[in-house]
Amino acid sequence: MSPRILVLRGPGTNCDAETVHALRELGAEPELVHVRRLVRTRALEAFEGLVIPGGFSYGDRIRSGAVLARMLSHALGRELQRFVDEGKPVLGICNGFQVLVETGVLPFGQVGEPALALMKNASARFEARWVHLLRCSDSELLGELPEVSEMPVANAEGRVVLPPGRAQEVLDELLQNSQVALRYCTPSGEPAEGRYPANPSGSFWDIAGLTTPNGRVLGMMPHPERAFSAYLHPCWTSGRGTEHGRVLLQGFVRCAGRA
């Protein structure tokens, strides 16, 4: 059975078309829904999966993803919490990751106050480039993603920052639960250790993607939908194209199919 997946959009969401396309290619039934309509219909529970795509929701006013996150946690907080509690898969890509962090759903699965932040890149600018990612979790959402994979990032605020003073404590907890799903690394799979450009944002502990403790909610800065075909890889003309984004999304769709 093909799972129904809600692809959420608001004003400024702009990676929805390619995300919908990718999910459909993988056999899912994606439905693109404006957040205002979702607030009206409250139809979240009719879906087996939720994807929040990239973009600049509400112009990233206040902080990236903050306004869309408030719409979700205030007007749809209970529905969202239930969705997460039931273990239905949720994926936030780029701005979607920022939204999930702002709702509090990431990293600890609780709608409420954010427990960490995605701040302006250390380079202080928007940056689009392909990166290598180290898989650090066996979360089903990552599917058959190999240990080292390639996908592009494109953001200005992708630097994971943990609460000052408690950073080590929070990191330990994340590591204990295998919540750090993806880290920026070198082509050979060594963690980037903060070094630019392998770690393009200066993200703490090279964090590129996080899950909830049960591994059912994944937020990531890289864009799997842009690594969906080998012909989107920067080196495909040398025969070195990969489709790691497709592999990851395949895992998500499979997970939703079982939800």
- Residue placing its CB nearer to another protein in the complex, 126 or 169: 126
Structure tokens at 67: 């306004």
Annotation marks residue 233 as catalytic: no
Among residues 216, 223, 244, 246, the one that binds another protein under rule CB under 8 A: 223
Among residues 132, 183, 226, 244, the one that binds another protein under rule CB under 8 A: 226
Annotation marks residue 74 as catalytic: no
Q: 122, 105, 123: which is closest to 114 by C-alpha?
A: 105
Instruction: Please state the length of the chain.
Output: 259
- The dihedral through the CA atoms of 57, 27, 229, 190 has a sign that is positive
Q: Which stretch binds another protein (CB under 8 A): 17-25, 68-76, 106-114, 169-177?
A: 17-25
Catalytic residue among 15, 102, 185, 223: 223
- Residue placing its CB nearer to another protein in the complex, 155 or 179: 155
Annotation marks residue 255 as catalytic: no
Catalytic residue among 225, 243, 244, 255: 225
Q: Is 27 left (phi over 0), alpha (psi -120 to 50) or beta?
A: left
Q: Are β-strands 90-93 and 117-119 bridged in parallel, bridged antiparallel, or unpaired?
A: unpaired
For the segment 143-172, give every residue that binds another protein (CB under 8 A): 152, 154
The Cα 165–Cα 238 span in angstroms is: 47
Q: Cβ(224)–Cβ(249) under 8 Å?
A: yes
Interface ranges with another protein (CB under 8 A): 11-12, 14-15, 17-18, 21-22, 34, 36, 54-56, 58-59, 125-129, 152, 154, 223, 225-226, 228-229, 231-232, 234-238, 240
